[in-house]
Amino acid sequence: MSMVNLLAADVGGTTTRLGLFEKTPSRPKLVASREFTTLDFTDLPSMIAEFLRVESLTDVSIASACVGVAGPVRGDIATLTNIPWRVDGPEVARAFGLSQVRLLNDLEAMAYAVPVLDASEVHVLQQGEPADTGNIAVIAAGTGLGEALLHHVDGRYVAVATEAGHADFAARTEREIAVLRYLVGRHGRAQVEDVVSGRGLLHIHRVVHTADSGEPLVCAAGIDLDAADAPALISTAALERRCPGCVETLDLLVDAYGAEAGNLALRAIATGGVFVGGGIAPKILSALRSGSFISAFRAKAPFESMLAAMPVKVITNSGAGLLGAANFCSRT
């Protein structure tokens, strides 16, 4: 039997992953993959061409392709939310002689990885008691915040995309209300993504490092919020406890992240589990394990016991979005 090759892409606001997979009866087998800085390229076809060139795959036959995109998908076109990029499925197909290129929202793509993840590719925050055919929820904070659902239909899971990261942020504490006021004053409204994301860390940091009088407070870690890696620097300073304000900043993000994961779990009735993906979670795993994430996740009276029974797992495979796109590709 000849090898069937699948091209997959996970297009993010910061990083894009490309991969070639071999179709198998179970989980697609990775042949080659590479990461690129998204804005180093003007469009996806030029990035794919570079991937095939550097991996010496220009002569490889590709049966089909699937692209996960960090933004809404309408038909065969997707526009990224946080950068000025547009992905045109038919254009990509023509450029590489493919019969079809399927486009998915990036969290929809990540959701399709969940059914084929190994135990070694997740970290359990809450064991729970999963229902075999229960709904699954996926939430992932990185450059932005994405959320998706997996419904069990006719013996297999079908992913449903959302733009729930752009829904209104629901503040629960006085400190979160302060963040809410700051965001409304600056942007006119507060999205969940404005709090639970890399950008959210910057917003929270500004609020925490401002006195009641409005005077700025010194960040003990000396972080420049205009630096490209400022969110990572804040997290590191917090985990190393080098700045009390940074510690509070990360604590606020973890609490808000847990609360929003719980909101999604309620909306989905995610008795099959909640999976936390994205770039931030694996880097702050020790903070997520501290207990405040799960406390905020469960604090939804009168449904604490239902939420306590839902498994909650962090996806530690950084290529989950790429794997999910390939898995979807192999099923269609």
**Domain shared by 82 and 97, yes or no:** yes
187 by Cβ neighbours in 10 Å (0-12 / 13-18 / 19+) ranks as exposed
- 289-317: per-residue pLDDT in tens? 999 999 999 999 999 999 999 999 999 99
**Domain shared by 128 and 154, yes or no:** yes
**Domain shared by 87 and 213, yes or no:** no
**Domain shared by 154 and 291, yes or no:** yes
Q: How far apart are CA 171 and CA 298, in angstroms?
A: 16
**Domain shared by 53 and 124, yes or no:** no
Asked if residue 253 lies in contact with residue 201, where contact means CB atoms within 8 angstroms, the answer is: yes
Indicate which CATH number applies to the domain containing 222: 3.40.367.20
Indicate which CATH number applies to the domain containing 95: 3.30.420.40
**For residue 274, what pLDDT is reported?**
98
**For residue 1, what pLDDT is reported?**
43
**Domain shared by 312 and 264, yes or no:** yes
**Domain shared by 57 and 22, yes or no:** yes
**Domain shared by 142 and 10, yes or no:** no
pLDDT of residue 2 exceeding 70: no
Residue 247: DSSP 8-state: H
**Domain shared by 191 and 254, yes or no:** yes
Mean pLDDT of 83-106: 93
- 171-218: per-residue pLDDT in tens? 999 999 999 999 999 999 999 999 999 999 999 999 999 999 999 999
- When divided into structural domains, the chain yields a total of 2
**pTM for this prediction:** 0.94
Hey, what long-range contacts does 217-226 have (CB within 8 A, 24 or more apart)? 217/245, 219/243, 219/245, 219/246, 220/244, 220/245, 220/246, 221/246
**Domain shared by 96 and 126, yes or no:** no
Asked if residue 11 lies in contact with residue 47, where contact means CB atoms within 8 angstroms, the answer is: no
**Domain shared by 102 and 138, yes or no:** no
Report how far Cα 108 is from the mean position of its chain's Cα atoms.
Answer: 10
**For residue 83, what pLDDT is reported?**
84
Determine the structural domain holding residue 90 and report its residue range. Answer: 5-109+319-331
pLDDT of residue 283 exceeding 50: yes
Mean pLDDT of 135-157: 94
Structure tokens at 98: 């493919």
**Domain shared by 173 and 254, yes or no:** yes
